[in-house]
């Protein structure tokens, strides 16, 4: 009897081990959505000129309203549509939408990265939604002159599958006018935690949205993003304009593989709320520099913590230099907001149509000795 039990236990153990080996741990999402670059073309019977004819005309996507399938470059009528991340894109006419259902992990944070630009009127808006969340992305400001603006939108999944929708809520005189979308990717984000040595979550900006492989302009983090669903985990984008998430491959980054460029002066601000002990002294340190992208001149980052302020000047020669600055502050409550913005507006020396600014990285807050 004991021998039979031993054999059964051994068989069960081996079976469990083999089953575990055959059941791979699901890898976090990080990459282009199915036909996310729109290079899988519609069938000839599903399109007339540039207009998609029915709900499933665009492979892997569901559409409604007036959606055009665009080939980048010169267009009939003298227009030019830059498609920075491939050859094809879609344009959303008045009240048009494209959507795709994505398998996700309930409770996890995700960032959707996408190339987007306006094609007609300055007041164009792109609405991005993953129910019950929705956000309007204003496209008035062109951050780069080549049409290669890339944005990220964060959301928290509330079920095992979610429906991502891009919608043009505008009504233009020309019904075809609307935002151009030329690439869509997704990445699962890991929730950052403060440590004993640094109260700032994701202070090195290493956890952030997917970076499109053929994009050299960085990723714009839209304004008014709350920390619970921010595409930059831990951080709030609380300004009227975006800040830019940059990578080491295309920019000079002081520490690690990613940093933040404050590209729109005082309209480009970011913050984080820290847990603090009232009346305790803290040190705030961070790195300021330039991205080695032609942005030069007198720069200044202003930092605020509790009732204290630091103005950190930096003379940029556009060569990728940087320095570390610090300040002390006294907490006045159990929550302290730390805020950063750029004092001045800058454009690249070789391209006055592209906004740029100082880079910040390696933000740290820790107890200070009195």
What gap in Å lies between CA 97 and CA 306, rounded to an integer? 44
What gap in Å lies between CA 153 and CA 211, rounded to an integer? 13
What gap in Å lies between CA 370 and CA 361, rounded to an integer? 26
Residue 185 and residue 215 share a domain? no
Residue 216 and residue 157 share a domain? no
3-class SS of residue 15:
helix
Indicate the residue among 189, 208, 239 that finishes a domain: 189
Angle ∠(143,149,151) on CA atoms, nearest 5: 110
Choice between 165 and 148, residue whose per-residue pLDDT is larger: 165
Token representation of residue 242: 């975006």
Q: pLDDT confidence of 127, banded at 50, 70, 90?
A: very high
Residue 176 and residue 58 share a domain? yes
What gap in Å lies between CA 290 and CA 254, rounded to an integer? 9
Token representation of residue 38: 């729109």
pLDDT in tens, 243-259: 999 998 888 888 899 99
Residue 331 and residue 289 share a domain? yes
Q: Helices H, strands E: what count in the chain?
A: 1, 28
Q: Is the pLDDT of residue 281 over 80?
A: yes
The reported pLDDT for the residue numbered 141 is 82
The reported pLDDT for the residue numbered 28 is 66
What gap in Å lies between CA 172 and CA 177, rounded to an integer? 6
- Cα–Cα nearest to 69, from 331, 253, 81, 112: 81
3-class SS of residue 329:
strand
Q: pLDDT confidence of 13, banded at 50, 70, 90?
A: very low
Residue 200 and residue 185 share a domain? no
Q: Say if 20 falls within a structural domain.
A: no
The reported pLDDT for the residue numbered 234 is 94
Indicate the residue among 189, 205, 221 that finishes a domain: 189
Contact present, 115 and 209 (Cβ < 8 Å): no
Q: Is the pLDDT of residue 219 over 60?
A: yes
DSSP class of residue 24 equals P
The reported pLDDT for the residue numbered 216 is 74
Q: Say if 17 falls within a structural domain.
A: no
Indicate the residue among 128, 163, 189 that finishes a domain: 189
Q: Say if 5 falls within a structural domain.
A: no
Residue 56 and residue 185 share a domain? yes
Q: Is the pLDDT of residue 77 over 80?
A: no
The reported pLDDT for the residue numbered 188 is 96
Per-residue pLDDT averaged across 199-224, rounded? 87
Contact present, 73 and 80 (Cβ < 8 Å): yes
Q: Is the pLDDT of residue 3 over 90?
A: no
Q: Say if 11 falls within a structural domain.
A: no
What gap in Å lies between CA 23 and CA 263, rounded to an integer? 45
pLDDT in tens, 24-53: 445 567 889 999 999 999 999 999 999 999
Residue 221 CB contacts under 8 Å (≥ 6 apart), including other chains = 151, 152, 209, 230, 231, 232, 237, 242, 243, 244, 245, 270
In terms of Cβ atoms closer than 10 Å to its own Cβ (0-12, 13-18, 19+), residue 51 is middle
Per-residue pLDDT averaged across 263-271, rounded? 90
- Cα–Cα nearest to 233, from 260, 264, 203, 262: 203
Residue 347 and residue 209 share a domain? yes
Residue 203 and residue 271 share a domain? yes
- Cα–Cα nearest to 250, from 114, 139, 141, 148: 148
Residue 229 and residue 183 share a domain? no
The reported pLDDT for the residue numbered 154 is 94
Per-residue pLDDT averaged across 196-209, rounded? 94
Q: Say if 6 falls within a structural domain.
A: no
- Cα–Cα nearest to 264, from 153, 144, 150: 144
What gap in Å lies between CA 199 and CA 276, rounded to an integer? 8
Which secondary structure element, helix H or strand E, spans residue 20, and what is its range? helix 2-22
Question: What is the count of structural domains for the chain?
Answer: 2
pLDDT in tens, 315-353: 998 888 999 999 999 999 999 999 999 998 888 888 787
Query: What are residue 327's DSSP bridge partners?
Result: 284
Residue 75 and residue 56 share a domain? yes
pLDDT in tens, 181-193: 999 999 999 989 9
The reported pLDDT for the residue numbered 90 is 95
The reported pLDDT for the residue numbered 301 is 96
Structural domain containing residue 163: 30-189
Q: Say if 9 falls within a structural domain.
A: no
pLDDT in tens, 16-25: 443 334 434 4
The pLDDT > 70 percentage for the chain reads: 91
Handedness of CA 269, 270, 276, 282 (dihedral sign): negative
Q: Say if 7 falls within a structural domain.
A: no
What gap in Å lies between CA 152 and CA 174, rounded to an integer? 28
Residue 128 CB contacts under 8 Å (≥ 6 apart), including other chains = 112, 134, 135, 137, 153, 164, 165, 166, 167
Q: Is the pLDDT of residue 14 over 50?
A: no
Q: Is the pLDDT of residue 143 over 90?
A: no
Residue 169 and residue 56 share a domain? yes
Q: Say if 210 falls within a structural domain.
A: yes
Residue 132 and residue 35 share a domain? yes
CATH number at residue 72: 2.60.120.260
């Amino acid at each position: 009897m004991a021998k039979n039990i031993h054999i059964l236990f051994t068989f069960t153990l081996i079976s469990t081990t083999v089953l575990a080996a055959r059941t791979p741990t699901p890898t976090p999402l990080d990459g282009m959505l199915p036909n996310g670059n729109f290079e899988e073309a519609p069938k000839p019977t599903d399109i007339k000129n540039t207009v998609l004819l029915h709900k499933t005309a665009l492979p892997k996507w569901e559409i409604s309203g007036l959606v055009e399938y665009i080939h980048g470059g010169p267009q009939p009528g003298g227009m030019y549509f830059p498609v920075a991340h491939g050859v094809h894109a879609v344009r959303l006419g008045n009240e048009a939408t494209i959507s795709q259902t994505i398998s996700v992990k309930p409770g996890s944070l995700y960032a959707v990265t996408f190339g987007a630009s306006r094609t007609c009127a300055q007041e164009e808006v792109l609405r991005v939604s993953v129910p019950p969340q929705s956000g309007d992305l204003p496209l008035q400001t062109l951050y780069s002159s080549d049409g290669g603006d890339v944005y990220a939108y964060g959301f928290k999944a509330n079920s095992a599958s979610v429906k991502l929708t891009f919608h043009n809520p505008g009504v233009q005189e020309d019904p075809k006018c609307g935002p151009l979308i030329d690439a869509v990717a997704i990445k699962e984000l890991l929730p950052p935690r403060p440590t004993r040595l640094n109260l700032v979550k994701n202070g090195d900006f290493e956890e952030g949205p997917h970076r499109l492989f053929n994009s050299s302009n960085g990723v714009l983090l839209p304004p008014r993003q709350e920390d619970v669903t921010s595409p930059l985990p831990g951080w709030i984008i609380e300004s009227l304009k975006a800040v830019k998430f940059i990578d080491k491959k295309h920019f000079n980054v002081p520490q690690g593989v990613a940093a933040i460029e404050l590209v729109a002066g005082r309209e480009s601000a970011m913050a984080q709320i820290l847990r603090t002990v009232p009346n305790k002294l803290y040190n705030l340190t961070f790195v300021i520099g330039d991205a080695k992208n032609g942005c030069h001149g007198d720069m200044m980052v202003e930092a605020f913590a509790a009732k204290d302020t630091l103005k950190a000047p930096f003379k940029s020669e556009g060569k990728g230099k940087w320095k570390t600055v610090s300040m002390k502050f006294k907490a006045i409550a159990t929550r302290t907001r730390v805020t950063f913005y750029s004092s001045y507006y800058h454009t690249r020396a070789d391209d006055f149509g592209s906004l740029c600014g100082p880079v910040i990285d390696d933000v740290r807050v820790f107890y200070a000795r009195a």
